Amino acid sequence: MFHVPLRPINESITTHIRLLLGTKEPPLAVAEDILLPLLIRRRFLCLCGLDSRFSTMAIWKPFLLLVWVLPTTESFDPIYRYSFIGSKVAGPIYREFQARNLDECGRMAHRNKAIALTHTTNGTGEYCGLITKFVSIEENLDPFVHYYLLDKRITESKQCPSGRTVRQILKGLSQCEEEDKVCMELHKIKRHCDAVNVLNVDCHCPPHQKVIDDNGKDRCSAVITRKDGTEEYCPALHAVWKDKYGEFCCGKNSGSCCRRDTFCCRREERIEADGGKPYCCPDGTTFRGRHDGEAVCCPPEMDRVEGSRFCCPKGFVYSEAFKRCIGAIEFGEEMPENQKEMKRICTDVKSFPVKIENEEQNKALRSIIQPFGGIIGLHIPEGREWGRNNFRWSVDGSEPTFTKWAAGDPNNLFVGQAPEIFTLHKSDRNWIDVNYLWKVSHAYCMASGYDSRG
């Protein structure tokens, strides 16, 4: 989540500025000399898990323009915040563009009156998409596309508001008049959330379900497609199964719903056979063996982890401590010189630099430990000065709550050669800060594992 550094501008401030300048439309150069100190004192950043960098000019020039636009723009709101959510906001992409950073995405989203934005990073840069019309909220199945929802909650502190679920964010709509076009779309999201089970904090129906009107009350419902192409909505608490005759609704909470003399699977599965015995594998996976008498099915780009029901990207192993797959990715004899290049070592194999949150996870890396250790995802963000307290996790920009620094570290000892902006996890499981000149050949990465039991 990020918050552009703008505070409400009241009439007294506006009047004071006009009196100081003696004009309604001051030259930009004159305004710079008078307003710059004021704006720098008033700025604040709300940063939860993301790297945000503003130059002085980037901070105050948008603020300056808002000072003069505000009195004549009836519905203009100089404060905006887009909060990270775990769901996908479905809607037409109004505009898609390459951005220098996430902060630029936020500014463009605000200027274009977007209710949400998408953000993704690949080998060529950062890309953003602006969503101005709401269609639905769905489960986000793509770990490389992040969604941010316009957050209208009011806060006077310099901290981000607590809570980043869709339901918590929508609590700020009490200040959002539905006549406003942006607020109207946000109220559509709230009505959608009201129709979804209250236990689902991110307001999306389970996969393959839709919000329907059930005797005047909205609810999520499974939908089956008949052979003639028409749809049928299942009663509440029913799931969809399929056999050789087609799809059907089943109200059983556990066990098989198969009809007599048939083998069936849930709709999101398909039948695979091993030694003449049929198994159900989720669509997009293949049968890789059995564990505890049940099928282990993996996506094609993953390998089965022997002795378990999990699948991991090739070269990774599943870690119970992380609840993820972890791997040591080799980058050669020369380390990347900056944070983006280091992060790309992992993202190129659909993973992220490892984040360690407790001693159990720190010890768990022994399963992939390298003789000279490996780089973990704790670094000094680009554009920030070196400091013992300035290390952040690259996966989400958060401050570390657990560290395992060796005695005397971090110390930036070889800053004369290059700043020590990376963190090396040594074979003894202690951490030291290093620069790109160190002889390290691996980065430790983490990726989502696949649980064959769903």
May I ask the CATH class of domain 81-195?
alpha beta
Q: Tens of pLDDT along the chain (454 residues)?
A: 343 333 333 333 333 333 333 444 333 333 333 333 333 222 222 323 333 333 333 333 322 222 232 333 334 455 778 888 888 999 999 999 999 888 889 889 999 999 999 999 887 889 999 999 998 888 888 888 999 999 887 655 445 555 578 888 888 787 777 678 899 999 989 888 887 766 678 888 877 777 777 776 777 888 887 778 888 888 877 888 888 888 888 886 656 788 877 888 888 888 887 777 888 898 889 999 989 888 899 999 999 998 889 999 999 999 999 999 999 999 877 899 999 999 999 999 999 999 999 999 999 998 888 888 999 999 999 999 999 999 999 999 999 999 999 999 999 999 889 999 999 999 999 999 999 999 899 999 999 999 987 6
- Among 362, 326, 356, which residue's Cα sits nearest to residue 445? 326
What sections of 70-214 are H helices per DSSP? Answer: 102-111, 166-169, 181-195
Q: Which residues pair with 280 in a beta bridge?
A: 271
Residue among 122, 119, 123 at smallest CA distance from 109: 119
Q: Would you state the pLDDT for residue 355?
A: 97
CATH class of this structure's domain 317-451: alpha beta
Token output for 100: 């220098």
pLDDT at 174: 77
- Measured in residues, the chain has a length of 454
- Write the DSSP assignment of 67-84 as a string of letters: HHHGGG-TT--S--EEEE
Handedness of CA 430, 433, 438, 443 (dihedral sign): positive
Q: Are 446 and 354 in contact (CB under 8 A)?
A: yes
Q: Determine the pLDDT at residue 242.
A: 86
φ and ψ of 139, to 5 deg:
-65, 135
The residue ranges of DSSP E strands in 305-397, in sequence order, are 310-313, 317-319, 324-330, 352-353, 374-376, 378-379, 392-393
- The residue ranges of every structural domain in the chain are 2-72, 81-195, 212-253, 317-451
DSSP state of 251: -
- Of 68, 64, 62, the closest CA to residue 25 belongs to 68
- pLDDT value, residue 263: 87
- Alpha carbons 147 and 166: distance in angstroms, whole number: 11
- The region that residue 3 occupies, defined by phi over 0 for left and psi between -120 and 50 for alpha, beta otherwise, is beta
Strands (DSSP E) found in 321-428: 324-330, 352-353, 374-376, 378-379, 392-393, 422-425
Q: Specify the DSSP element, H or E, that contains 210.
A: strand 209-214
Task: Tell me: cis bond preceding 207? Omega within 30 of 0 counts.
Answer: no
Q: Yes or no: say if 27 and 21 are a contact pair by the CB < 8 Å rule.
A: no
